[in-house]
Homo-oligomer: A and B are copies of this chain.
Amino acid sequence: MKLEIMPVKEGDVIQLVGIKHKYYFVKLIAGKVLQTHKGIIEHDEIIGKPWGSRVKSHLGNPFYVFQPSIADMLQDIPRNTQIMYPKDIGYIMLRMGIEYGQHVVEAGTGSGAFTSALALRVGDQGKVYSYEQRPDAQNQARKNLNKFGLLDRVDLKSRDIADGFDEEGVDALFLDVKTPYDYISQVRGALKIGGYFGAILPTTNQVIRLIDMLRRYDFAFIEVVETSLRYYKPEPERFRPVDRMVAHTGFLLFARPLDRDSMINADKNIDQDLDVVV
């Protein structure tokens, strides 16, 4: 069965791959041109062609129109702040069950990298509510979301989450803030019973405080993990790991709020449950 390869539309973000695999991420806008190291390409040359097509620059050099994944696009995102890594984003979204159509709250927005991944995932039927107090970070995130064509799926808010979230009953809520343990009451207010709470934290001290607070607020299924990714040199004659790697991006913490009455008699020693989770 031959699937119809969809045409590239105005507004799409493409990965334009040239000689020696050098590439550009570009949002297509009718009438615009792209300056490459190998000549100029008009966006109109690309719009309407199927993904995977070959186009040529005005100097005759070939380029290929690739459909990028969000993992590819995040490499290229302009940022003011530390952004989350694909190794963490992939696991977080799977662990928290973030899928098409969901409503998800996030704080802080930062440069919008994780926000973009969330917005892509929840699709046109879902919504991301993203809180950020620093105006410059929010502006950067807005630009990035707009570049990826995802801005309409995100509600960017510049509120202090100490005052609570506007939402109630969301499917998942993620905190990437310095003192997440200060907002657990607010988290409970926003997240549905059995929904997924997640956080990323650089230090063990923060994790310790957050676990303690989550237990007080009747969260269960608490899981703390670190992900890591080890790259190998893709050389068949000299196959080996690369020399250096990222050792730490943050501890990931997940938990789910129970109904407050339900904790009576509940066993708090759930460590052994982790064995199944592996």
Residues of A within 8 A of B (CB): 1-5, 15, 17, 19-21, 51-54, 62, 64-72, 75, 85-87, 89-97, 99-100, 103, 117, 120-121, 123, 166-171, 192-196, 202-205, 207-209, 211-212, 215, 220-249, 251, 253, 256, 258-259, 261-262, 265-267, 270-271, 273-274, 276-278
The answer to whether B235 touches A271, judged by C-beta atoms less than 8 angstroms apart, is yes
B95 and A203 form a contact (CB under 8 A): no
Is B239 in contact with A204, judged by CB distance below 8 angstroms?
yes
Contact B93 A94 (CB under 8 A): yes
A248 in contact with B243 (CB, 8 Å): yes
Q: Oligomeric state, in number of copies?
A: 4
A68-B97, A70-B94 known; A194-B52 Cβ under 8 A: yes
Asked whether, in the complex, the Cβ of B51 is within 8 Å of the Cβ of A70, the reply is no
* A63 vs chain B, min Cβ distance (A): 9
Most buried by B among A117, A232, A234, A248: A234
Q: Is the CB of A234 within 8 A of B226?
A: no
Q: How far is the CB of A74 from chain B (nearest CB, A)?
A: 9
- Chain B residues contacting A95 (CB-CB under 8 Å) are 69, 71, 86, 90
Interface contact B205-A238, CB-CB below 8 Å: yes
The secondary-structure label for the interface of chain A is mixed
> Shortest beta-carbon distance, A272 to chain B, in Å?
10
Q: Measured between C-beta atoms, what is the minimum distance from A199 to chain B in Å?
A: 12
The residues of B that contact A117 with a CB separation of less than 8 Å are 94
Closest to A89 in B: B94
Interface pair A277/B75, CB less than 8 Å apart: yes
A1 pairs with B166, CB closer than 8 A: yes
Inter-chain contact A231/B224, CB cutoff 8 Å: yes
Q: Which of B1, B120, B207, B251 contacts A168 (CB 8 A)?
A: B1
A194 nearest CB neighbor, chain B only: B66
Cβ 8 A contact of A258, one of B64, B92, B251: B64
Closest to A227 in B: B229
